[in-house]
Amino acid sequence: MSAHEHEHEHDHPHAEITAEPAGYYEIMETAVRELLAEKGLIGPAEIRRQIEVLDSRTPALGAKVVARAWVDSGFRARLLADGRAGCEELGISFYDDTQLIVLENTQEVHNLIVCTLCSCYPRPVLGLPPDWYKEKPYRARAVIEPRAVLAEFGTTIPDDVEIRVSDSTAMVRYLVLPRRPDGTEGWSEEALAALVTRDAMIGVVPATLPETVQ
Amino acid sequence: MSVTSAAGTFEGVVWALNEAPAFAPGEAVRILTRTPIGHYRVPTYLRGKSGTVESVIEPAGLDNEQEGFGRNAGSKRHYYRIAIPLTEIWPDYVGSPRDGLRIEVFETWLERI
Amino acid sequence: MTDSAHLIAKLPNDIGGAEAGPIVMAEHTLLPWEKRCHALADVLDFKKIINTEEKRRGVEALGATVIGNLSYYERWIVAFGNILFQKGIITPEELARKMDEVEARHARAGGA
């Protein structure tokens, strides 16, 4: 059996031709893209290339940045001074031409990221945002009742800790640098990175030890 | 007067109007209350609210109210990270009085107070 | 403010502080066409055919009802069509004909 035949044997979420008939908007997307290609304005290879770029960006990149900041104070200082340059130091490119501010959580301050106007998100370093980040409840409420929003994620921040909500508007993106969990002294960078979730880098949860270790 | 740049300080060089940021970190500012048509990126929930300049975002950015209409070489504007207490934004805010918001705002939407 | 001014003074996506229900934590993996649409948006921005801010403006211009009823990438592709018409890059007729062609191609592929 060829690899191609095998690909169509199981439910393959990325296959272009699926059992479902193409919907109105899907047809529109194909039509717009093909018209632009026929006019020589974009090339099919450029779209494929950008899909590869999107696929290459996942929260694992951000976790690597956070873990490095936890173990290397010099890197941490450079990252906090210029988030984009810090990520670029680790080989993470900023294809969307945005700046990055890294927000450090401390004993005194807990940072939370939202984009009330649309869905600004540090895509080069975290990949695409989750649905809830793009939908109304989170966007509307994070700036008016952040503690209630955090509670919905199971996160309780003591009253003596300041909540700092950053609302992205256009050119600047944010990444939360969570607090390093207690009990991780001497851990490898790789083991530390495994503790850092996407949601911790948005600021809706802390970075925690797995329950089996606690 | 002198101008400081990445290349150094040059005696006798004077900045033009709007070339240097109008506001400095620590200054108190208010977000304007205007309600224009067109395109903007200043949320209405912050109109008329007072805060403090936390930092100047460098370099100055393309004015997104022009960029939104395809002017890719539109005016550059100074851009600031502003700190605003949540109790200033929402008088009935439930939470710590120290809780705050941070947002980047173009100079065209700020006034000194 | 007059009775009708609020319809204009606040863009549909300007929702910070608005009344809203609980956060629904469900997530979905992008459909293939949604991912292509995202890549298209990025390429259009890189080439400044439609920059990201024009895309945001184009989505706002759809109005609250459309924004409230279309999915995220459905809003994007309709905004792209409108902006490309405004810029004279494609015409509504070209898009209509191309959509017919794409639909016929899909129908043949589905019936094969």
Collect the ranges in chain C with pLDDT lower than 70: 1-2, 111-112
- Residue A213 has a pLDDT of 57
Residue A16 has pLDDT above 60, yes or no: no
pLDDT, chain C, mean = 94
pLDDT at A70: 98
- Express each pLDDT in B66-83 by its tens digit: 999 999 998 999 999 999
Active site includes A87? no
CB C4 within 8 A of CB A111: no
pLDDT at A133: 97
Distance CA B84, CA B90 (A): 11
User: Which residue from A119, C87, C50 is spatially nearest to B72, judged by alpha carbons?
Assistant: C50
* Averaged confidence pLDDT in chain B: 90
pLDDT at C1: 58
At B97-106, the pLDDT tens digits run: 999 999 999 9
**Closest approach of chain A CAs to the CA of C42, in angstroms?**
7
- The verdict on whether A168 is a catalytic residue reads no
- What mean pLDDT comes out for the span A18-22? 68
pLDDT tops 70 at residue A14: no
Against chain A, the chains showing at least 3 CB pairs within 8 Å are: B, C
pLDDT at A195: 97
pLDDT value of position C5: 87
CB environment A33-68: b (16+ within 10 A), e (fewer) = bbbbeeeebbeeebbeebbebbeebebebbbbbbbb
Residue B30 has pLDDT above 90, yes or no: yes
Query: pLDDT at residue B89 above 50?
Result: yes
Q: With the C-alpha atoms ordered C72, C77, C80, C81, is the resulting torsion angle positive or negative?
A: negative
| pLDDT at residue number A8 | 42
Tell me the chain B residues in contact with residue A146 when contact means C-beta distances shorter than 8 Å. 86, 95, 99
| pLDDT of B17 | 82
Are B57 and B104 in contact, with CB atoms under 8 Å apart? yes
**Predicted confidence band of residue A214 (pLDDT cuts 50, 70, 90):** low
Under a CB-based contact definition with an 8 Å cutoff, are residues A158 and A168 in contact? no
Amino acid A43: pLDDT? 92
What are the tens digits of pLDDT across the range A28-74? 999 999 999 999 999 989 999 999 999 999 999 999 999 999 999 99
Looking at residue A171, what is its pLDDT? 87
pLDDT in the model for residue C111: 54
C40·A47 Cβ contact <8 A: yes
Tell me what the mean pLDDT of segment A115-125 comes to.
Answer: 96
Per-residue model confidence (pLDDT) at position A2: 41
**Residue A1: what pLDDT?**
38
Residue B97 Cα to chain centre, angstroms: 24
Q: Is A28 on the interface with C (CB under 8 A)?
A: yes
Q: Mean pLDDT score of chain A, rounded to an integer?
A: 91
List chain A residues with CB under 8 Å of C27.
Answer: 130-132
Q: Could you give the CA distance from residue B62 to residue B80 in angstroms, rounded to a whole number? A: 13
Percent of chain B predicted with pLDDT > 70: 92
Mean pLDDT of B18-25: 92
C13: closest CA among A132, B39, B72? Answer: B39
Confidence (pLDDT) at B4? 53
* Record: contact C15-A17, CB cut-off 8 A: no
Query: Rounded mean pLDDT of B22-50?
Result: 95
